[in-house]
Amino acid sequence: MRKSRDAFTLIELMISITILSIVMLFLYKSYASLNMSNTFYTKELNKIKAQQEIKRVLFLDLSLAIDKKIKILNQESKEDVMFIQTSNSIHRRYNPYVAYIVKESKLYRLESLKEFKEYPLSNSSEFSVDYLGEVNSFRLYESKDKTKGSYLVHIDFKNSEEILQKVKVLAD
């Protein structure tokens, strides 16, 4: 007499469900780990992008300065103010006046059609403001040889890497 089997036994079903559960658990853990690493790397990439954008704007502002209209005002040992006229504009202005100002440990880039003449700024000043980040210090150094037209910019951010950038003004 031969017995024919048309179905699985209860033990076989329980073993296959247990194996499937273990495989699903490992797949879920690897998926969760992948999501965590993607979140981490996305945040880091956004920090790097933001810092690169600050470097790019600062470089273009200084290198495209018009007639060397760069004025650096030393405020404190860790803070400088810079007034400049440049052909670089974030807000689509033609030859805007730009100011870099530190206020309450926050670095701002101001862009206006009217010239910045003094600091603190007057109440009648009209400008667009771009927040660049919290800083420990913002310093600008002009080359001792005035004919070279080069500047050294040092920005020490509180929550990201510092920027140390040498820029030569292209317009003479």
pLDDT confidence bin for 1, thresholds 50/70/90? low
- The domain locations on the chain are 50-168
How big is the CA angle at 76 (ends 101 and 48), to the nearest 5 degrees? Answer: 50
User: How far apart (Å, rounded) are the C-alpha atoms in residues 152 and 147?
Assistant: 15
pLDDT confidence bin for 57, thresholds 50/70/90? very high
Q: Burial of 107 by CB count in 10 Å (0-12 exposed, 13-18 middle, 19+ buried)? A: buried
Pairing of strands 80-86, 65-74: antiparallel
| The predicted structure's pLDDT at residue 97 | 93
Residue 61: CA atoms inside 13 Å, Cβ hemisphere, count?
A: 26
Checking if the pLDDT of 117 tops 60, the result is yes
Checking if the pLDDT of 165 tops 70, the result is yes
Query: Pick from 125, 79, 123: which is nearest to 100 by CA?
Result: 79
For residues 134-157, average pLDDT: 88
Token readout for 36 is 């965590």
pLDDT in tens, 84-116: 999 999 988 888 899 999 999 999 999 999 888
| The predicted structure's pLDDT at residue 122 | 82
